[in-house]
Amino acid sequence: MTEIDKEVWICAVCDGICVEDAGRWVHPGPSSTLQSRRTCSDPHPSRIAKPREIKDGQARYPKEKYKIEQRLECLGPVEAADVAIVGYWRPNTGSPRQPKGCGYLASSGHYGCGATTTPSRFDGPGTLAAEARALIWAVRRMVPAYRTTLLTDRPEIAELIESWRGGNTAAVTPGYDSSDRPSGKEAQLTRTARQVYRYADTVSVQLVNGSADNVLTIGAHELSFIGWQWCAEVITKETARERALRKASSALGVEPRLAPGASQPDYR
């Protein structure tokens, strides 16, 4: 009988396979492969890998989308808006689903709450990938309809937006794969980059301190956490919808009432 194979796990940080070696978790395999370049430096085992995943060297997930977008009533017509964008991530230990929570909250009453389970080999790892996703959602919703100031507490995101405004639309977050998707579609962050460049006169970015008293950033953080919980199945979609409405309205200091006809189609 040969030695029993080590258990192979899926890493919660990068979706690569990982094994325990001398008391440490590591990403195995030759360091020259494409997959190995996408693995992280600090593996966090989340669940046992399936045979097919061990062969591929990475997790396989169905593509899913969790997204609620709304607008609050009683803020009236506005031409300019500040929009806070926040991503939330932590390992969802024991589950095949590794949500990256996303939230945005605008002074115009627009808000978004949800999560993505896009594999890290496309999005890059962790919180920054979640933050980029929130940025994609907010830009799609606000630009060019409003003169928009994007608020972020991440210097990397602020620099990214400035790069786009300056014409470098190839800039992406670390680990993000900007090549066309298997479906042939353009990568969403690249599409967002072109949108920001095209309307650079109407888009600006402001680096904020997330823990300070910026109500939009605090609200967006709560929305991203609600999105994470919904996708992780800690709460139901109905609960997510109610909490998002309550958090967004209290952050803006308005009644929890939606503007008529403001709902975007939900996913999931």
When the beta carbons of 16 and 109 are compared against Zn ion, the nearer one is 16
Binding mask 151-180 for Zn ion (x = CB under 5 A): ------------------------------
Q: Minimum CB separation from Zn ion for residue 121, in Å? A: 11
Handedness of CA 43, 45, 47, 51 (dihedral sign): positive
Distance from C-alpha of 260 to C-alpha of 216, rounded to nearest angstrom: 22
Residue whose CB is less far from Zn ion, 39 or 98: 39
Read off the amino acid at residue 13: V
Nearer to Zn ion, 71 or 121 (CB): 121
Selected binder of Zn ion within 8, 14, 17, 102 (CB under 5 A)? 14
Could you tell me the two tokens for 227? Answer: 């999105």
C-alpha radius of gyration, the chain, whole number: 20
CA angle 72, 73, 78 (to 5 degrees): 90
d(CA 210, CA 220): 10
Query: Contact at 8 Å (CB) between 19 and 8?
Result: yes
Cα distance between residue 168 and residue 155, in whole Å: 17
| Using rule CB under 5 A, residue 13 touches Zn ion | yes
User: What minimum distance in Å lies between the beta carbon of 237 and Zn ion?
Assistant: 30
Asked if 57 interacts with Zn ion (CB under 5 A), we say no
Q: Which is nearer to Zn ion, 2 or 41 (CB)?
A: 41
Which residue, judged by CB position, is nearest to Zn ion in the bound state? 11
Count of residues in contact with Zn ion, rule CB under 5 A? 7
If one asks whether residue 143 binds Zn ion (CB under 5 A), the answer comes out as: no
d(CA 256, CA 244): 10
CA 64 to centroid of chain Cα atoms: 13
- The residue (of 39 and 224) whose beta carbon lies closer to Zn ion is 39
11: contact with Zn ion by CB under 5 A: yes
Q: Enumerate residues 73-112 that contact Zn ion by CB under 5 A.
A: none
Strand order through the sheet with 80-88: 65-71, 110-116, 100-106, 80-88, 147-152, 203-207
Q: Which residues within the stretch 176-195 sit at the binding site for Zn ion (CB under 5 A)? A: none
User: Nearest approach, Cβ of 141 to Zn ion (angstroms)?
Assistant: 32
CB of 136 to Zn ion, least distance (A): 23
Residues numbered 31 to 50 that lie near Zn ion (CB under 5 A) are 39-40, 43
Cβ contact 108:149 at 8 Å: no
- State the residues that interact with Zn ion by CB under 5 A: 11, 13-14, 16, 39-40, 43
